[in-house]
Amino acid sequence: MKKAVSAVILMCGFAIASAPQFGPYSWIEADGGRIDVGWYGAPCVVDWDGDDLKDLVLGQFTSGKIRFYANSGSNDSPVFTTYSFIQSDGTDISVPSG
Ligand SMILES: [Ca+2]
């Protein structure tokens, strides 16, 4: 009986879950140009500064530093200009890379 209940729950999970839908890609830009951090950028969209606008946090492979692009637009139409490095105690955070 336990196996049957588990199977039904598992099947419901598959029935409810839907596959993600993706549109065509677009470049993420800042100051009118493509953002380029080299390889393995690892972008993350999050409201980093707590102003209810989703920002861009982006690692860069070569230095291991983490860029923060504040969103000055809206959540539907984000606008990024320049960036700053995320710091801790006044020092840029650096994540080992390579
Ligand atoms: Ca924000």
- Give the Å distance between the CA of 57 and the centre of ligand 1: 10
Task: Using the predicted structure, report yes or no on whether residue 5 has a pLDDT greater than 50.
Answer: no
To the nearest whole number, what is the mean pLDDT of the chain? 84
Written in H, E and C, the secondary structure of 36-79 is CCCCCCCEEEECCCCCCCCEEEEECCCCCEEEEECECCCCCCCC
What is the reported pTM? 0.73
Domain ranges of the chain: 23-92
pLDDT tens figures, 25-63? 888 899 989 998 888 888 999 999 999 999 999 988 878
Query: Which has more pLDDT, 39 or 19?
Result: 19
pLDDT value for 39: 81
- Give the Å distance between the CA of 8 and the centre of ligand 1: 41
Q: Spell out which residues have Cβ within 5 A of ligand 1, the ion.
A: 47, 49, 51, 53, 55
- Give the Å distance between the CA of 90 and the centre of ligand 1: 20
pLDDT value for 66: 94
